[in-house]
Each structure stands twice: as structure tokens, then as C-alpha cells.
Amino acid sequence: MSELHKVYIETYGCQMNLADTEVILGVLWNKGYQVTKNQNEADIILLNTCSIRDNAEQRIYGRLGNLKKQKNKKPELVVGILGCMAERLRKNLIGSKGVVDLVVGPDEYRRITELIDEVYNGGKGIGVKLSRTETYDDIIPFREDGISAWLSVMRGCDKFCTFCVVPFTRGRERSRSLDSIVNEIKLLSQRGFREVTLLGQNVNSYLDNGRDFADLLAAAAVVDKLIRIRFTTSHPQDLSDKLLYTIAEHPNICNYIHLPVQSGSNRILELMNRTYTVEHYLELIEKSRKIIPGVSFSTDIIAGFPSETYEDHLMTIDVMNKVRYDGAYMFKYSPREGTKAHKMENDVTEEMKSKRLTEIIDLQQKISFEINQSTIGKEEIVLVEGYSKKSDAFMSGRTDTNKVLIFPAIDGILPGDYVKTVINSATSATLFGKYVETVNPVKDKIQLTA
Ligand code: 5AD
Ligand code: SF4
């Protein structure tokens, strides 16, 4: 009687999880389940979870505590843990906080309805096998109409950075077929989407029958020149010249690269198994800036990896000053069971980690502010995404370098339009501008990239 079942899902963690949620809902929808945004009317509540740091998992445990109250009132409610935490903790999660009935890892979503049936038959539903081949190639994700879409092009990770749990929770690297990705972009184009972000833990390792990530980007870019193509995440080891030239060549591939550095110290990079040196990383940045004028970079940084000294930390500060990232995601090191770093002594105190992280965040804010201030008076083309969160009198869009830009709403301008704006003020997080004119990047032969 699955037709009667209403599913509510919450997504935690990275963009891969957002894309996976759409795949999961696609599978459920195909089997006649209904999707609801109101958890009070749901028969099944699913949490698509993240294990990357301990605080991500603690949030989920907190949420399970609340769900227990709901389940006390409604004992037939089914609660499921999906994603990385399901894979990491497996059957240990069953009965966690007295509420979990269903545990489904990232490669078992095809079987989710079967596993839900097991719960309805009085058992527990557990599916946690990892696969070397699953890419959900043929599953049509459940997506609402909109401007931007996520699209996973590969799954898993083979890099085994010593701090990272992902290779254990998401398994080995495998790529989805180039043709099926291109077909999906065609469908998105027909539905009026204007931006597609190609996702993978390590997209530069993409490989489908001799076709690499640069080939995929080029094929994606020509589907619809009004669609902007973004991608994440890149690993410094595999960012090839061919890829850089492909980004430069196609006006609708965004001039924005997320290139995690993690640390500025070669000794720490080696302990992290990152396979590059700071010198190599900086050369890569310099080369990218030559090949793609105006390209912007963001990064990930970890403060307080085992044995990190104050000098190592200063080297991270130094690399930030040299690169001048447009943005950064910054974290305190969190030991994850099963990883190599977990066996190293977690010897940087919590207090030191906090202090170093604060210095890193303060510096990044200052740099982002300065970079954004330097755009004042300049023109930028933005893809309009919708109205500003605070007021319908303002619209919000993004520049190709991934900066949010707010401008006063203009009659007739709709989400999905490309508009030229002139910037008149800026904070470290947002640009503010004024509408100049609407552009058709293809007809006007204007580069989508500034
Ligand atoms: N502790 C802190 N940060 C981590 N990341 C991955 N694993 C850990 C960990 N154990 C960060 C890295 C990675 C990003 C997705 O999360 O910076 O690039
Ligand atoms: Fe984790 Fe490293 Fe793979 Fe990124 S590249 S998912 S940090 S192991």
C-alpha cells in the first residue's frame, strides 16, 4: 500500500547529499510514494546524513532525540538514516535513541522501498553494501522546477586523505556515463534550468571510456549555451592543463574553481596524504590565472591537524595571503574512526584549534571584503535566481565567479534572466548593484563570464 505513504526527507552535509536526496526521492516516487514538505503529515521521515566531522553526527543525534518525541505520539512513524552515517555506523544505528528503523548507505538507494517494506513487515531495514559500479545512471532524480540543478557525475573517492572518512562511507571512485549526463542536461534545458553543477568528491578523476573530465565539461557546455556549467570539487593533483583550457574556451563554463588546499605546510600536507606541495599548488594557481583571466578560487582549510605547530599554522596563513581566495570553508580537525589520522595523536588542544581557526576565518573575511570592495564601480553579469531572502523589492543573482549579488527588482525581470549590473557596494559576503540591462549571452555574443 505504498501509494498511501508520505515521505519527508531532510538533507545534511555536502552538495552530493543534496543530489542524492533527489535520486532517493526519484526512486520512491517511481514506486508510488508521495513526497511531503510537512513532517507532521509524514509516515516516513528520512535523514540523509553526513559523517565528515563529529559535530555533523552530533546534530543528527540531536535530531533523533526530537524524533523520538514524535514517534512516541505516533508509533507507526518510520524513521530512516541514510547516507554516510548509515554506512559508517550500520546496524549500530538501529534503535539509536529508540527511534531508528531503517539504515541505508549511499549505494543501496535502489533497494530503499524493499527495505521500507521490511520495516512494515515488523523487521528492520538495513542496506549498507558499497558498490564498485552503482552510479544511479538510469534514475531520474525528483527535482522541482528551478534555475539551478545539481548533477552527480561520479561517486566515491580513492584519494584516502588521512583525515577523511569519505572513502570509507562512499566507497571507490566510479564515473557515470558521459552520454547519460549530457542527456540529463538536455532534459534540464527543456525544463528551463539555467545552471548545472557537476558534482563529485574529486571530479577531475572522472573517466568514461577514455573521456576525461575536460571532455565531459566541453560536452556539457555545448548542450545549451544559456546554461552555466559549474563543477566541484577539484583536487590539486589532477587539475590538468586541458581542463583549464576547456574552462577558458567555453564562455558558459564558470570561471570559478573550488580547490581545497587543507594546509600551507608541506610536512602536514604529507601527513594528510594530499600528494602535492605548497609550491606545486601555488604554481597551479598562477597557471590557472594565466589561462583563465579573472578566475576565482575557493578552498577548504583544516586547523589543528595532528602535530600541527604554530609555524605550520603560519604557513597556512601565508598561503591564504598568497592566493587571496574569494571564499573558504574552514574547519577544526575532527578525528574520524577508521582513518589513518585517527591513529595519530590528536595533540593540538581544542583551545589551540579554536584560536587558529578564528585567525584563519578573520583573515579570509578581510580578504573577501577587500576583493569584493575592489569590484565597486565595475559591471557584472548575473544569472537572476530569485528574490532576495529579506525582501521582494530586491532580486538576487550570482556572478560567474559565484558571488551573490543583490539589486533592486525591476518589472519584467524574472529568475533565469541574465542581467548586466553595476556594483555600488559590497560586504565580505555579498555584492550590491543596480540593474543596467538585460542581456542574451548567446545572441549578443556576450561572455557569460565577466
Ligand atoms: N576534520 C575536519 N575537516 C575535515 N574535512 C574532511 N575531513 C575532515 C576532518 N576529519 C574537510 C576537508 C574537506 C572538506 C569537505 O571537509 O577540508 O575538503
Ligand atoms: Fe576526502 Fe580527500 Fe577524497 Fe576529498 S579527496 S573526499 S578530502 S579523501
Ligand closest to Cα of 334 equals 1
**Distance between CA atoms of residues 45 and 63, nearest Å:** 11
User: For residue 330, which amino acid is it?
Assistant: M
Same domain, 239 and 297: no
Name the residue range of residue 190's domain: 143-254
The residue out of 222, 254, 286 marking a domain boundary is: 254
164 in contact with ligand 1, CB cutoff 6 A: yes
From 81, 166, 170, 161, select the one nearest 119 (Cα to Cα).
81
Reported as a pLDDT band with limits 50, 70 and 90, residue 450 is: very low
78 belongs to a structural domain? yes
In a domain, 138, yes or no: no
CB 313 less than 6 A from any atom of ligand 1: no
Q: Which atom of ligand 2 is nearest to the CA of 274?
A: 2
From the CB of 256, is ligand 1 less than 6 Å away?
no
Beta bridge partners of 420: 381, 437
Same domain, 294 and 232: no
230 falls within a domain: yes
What spacing in Å lies between the alpha carbon of 164 and ligand 2's midpoint?
Answer: 6
Ligand nearest the Cα atom of residue 336: 1
Contacts of 14 (CB under 8 A, 6+ apart): 50, 52
If you average pLDDT over residues 406-423, what whole number do you get?
Answer: 96
What CATH number corresponds to the domain at position 104? 3.40.50.12160
Atom of ligand 2 nearest to the CA of 157: 3
Distances from the Cα of 441 to the Cαs of 64, 214, 377, 450, in angstroms?
Answer: 48, 22, 21, 11
Give the residue with greater pLDDT, 446 vs 317: 317
Average pLDDT score over the chain: 95
- pLDDT tens, position by position, 195-217: 999 999 999 999 999 999 999 99
Is there a single domain that holds both residue 78 and residue 103? yes
Rounded-to-integer distance, Cα 44 and Cα 39, Å: 9
Cis ω for the linkage preceding 275 (within 30 of 0) = no
> Over the stretch 259-313, which tens digit does the pLDDT of each residue have?
999 999 999 999 999 999 999 999 999 999 999 999 999 999 999 999 999 999 9
Taking the CA of 167 as reference, the closest ligand is 2
Residues 165 and 102 in one domain: no
Ligand that lies nearest to the alpha carbon of residue 275, given by its number in the listed order: 2
Residue nearest to ligand 2 atom 2, measured at CA: 161
* 276 and 360 housed in the same domain: yes
Q: Which of 254, 289, 308 is the last residue of a domain?
A: 254
pLDDT in tens, 53-88: 999 999 999 999 999 999 999 999 999 999 999 999
The CA 170 to ligand 1 mean position distance, Å, reads 15
- pTM attached to this predicted model: 0.95
Please tell me if the CB atom of residue 153 comes closer than 6 angstroms to any atom of ligand 1: no
How much is the pLDDT for 193? 97
Q: pLDDT grade, residue 447 (50/70/90)?
A: low
For the cut 50, the answer to whether the pLDDT of residue 164 exceeds it is: yes
**Quick check: 333 and 349 in contact, CB under 8 A?**
no
Decide: 305 in ligand 1 pocket, CB within 6 A: no
Q: What band does 443 get if pLDDT is binned at 50, 70 and 90? A: low
Confirm if 78 and 42 have CB atoms less than 8 A apart: no
CA–centroid distance, 329 to ligand 1, in Å, is 9
For range 121-134, the mean pLDDT: 96
Residue 148 maps to a domain: yes
Q: Which pLDDT score, from 0 to 100, does residue 112 have?
A: 98
| CATH number, domain with residue 388 | 2.40.50.140
Pairwise CA distance, residues 149 & 116, whole Å: 28
Number of domains in the chain: 4
pLDDT value of residue 444: 59
Asked whether residue 132 is assigned to any structural domain, the reply reads no
Residue nearest to atom 1 of ligand 2 (CA): 164
Q: Do 31 and 114 share a domain, yes or no?
A: yes
Distance 141 CA to ligand 2 centre (A): 25
Say if residue 233 is preceded by a cis peptide, omega within 30 of 0.
Answer: yes
pLDDT for res 442 = 67
Shared-domain flag, residues 307 and 219: no
Mean pLDDT score, 331-337 = 98
pLDDT the model gives residue 249: 97
Q: Do 236 and 285 belong to one domain? A: no
**If we measure between CA atoms, which residue out of 368, 362, 358, 298 comes closest to residue 332?**
358
- Band (pLDDT 50/70/90 cuts) for residue 170 is very high
What is the rounded distance in angstroms from the CA atom of residue 401 to the CA atom of residue 446? Answer: 16
pLDDT tens-place string over residues 361-377: 999 999 999 999 999 99
What does the pLDDT read at residue 446?
54
CA of 405 to the centre of ligand 2 (A): 31
- Report d(CA 305, CA 352) in Å as an integer: 11
- Is residue 246 domain-shared with residue 171, that is, in the same domain? yes
Q: What is the number of the ligand closest to the CA of 13?
A: 1
Q: How far apart are the first and last CA of the chain?
A: 54
290, three cell numbers:
594565466
Q: Which of 161, 235, 340 to mutate to test the pocket of ligand 2 (most atoms within 8 A of CB)?
A: 161
Domain assignment of residue 117, yes or no: yes
Choose among 20, 379, 394: nearest CA to 200. Answer: 20
Bridge partner residues of 34 (DSSP): 6
pLDDT over 90 percentage in the chain: 94
Asked whether residue 246 is assigned to any structural domain, the reply reads: yes
Q: Residue 416 Cα, ligand 1 centroid: separation in angstroms? A: 33
Residue nearest to atom 5 of ligand 2 (CA): 159
pLDDT band of residue 95 (cuts 50, 70, 90) is confident
Is residue 444, in this structure, part of any structural domain at all? no
Domain end (from 254, 280, 305): 254
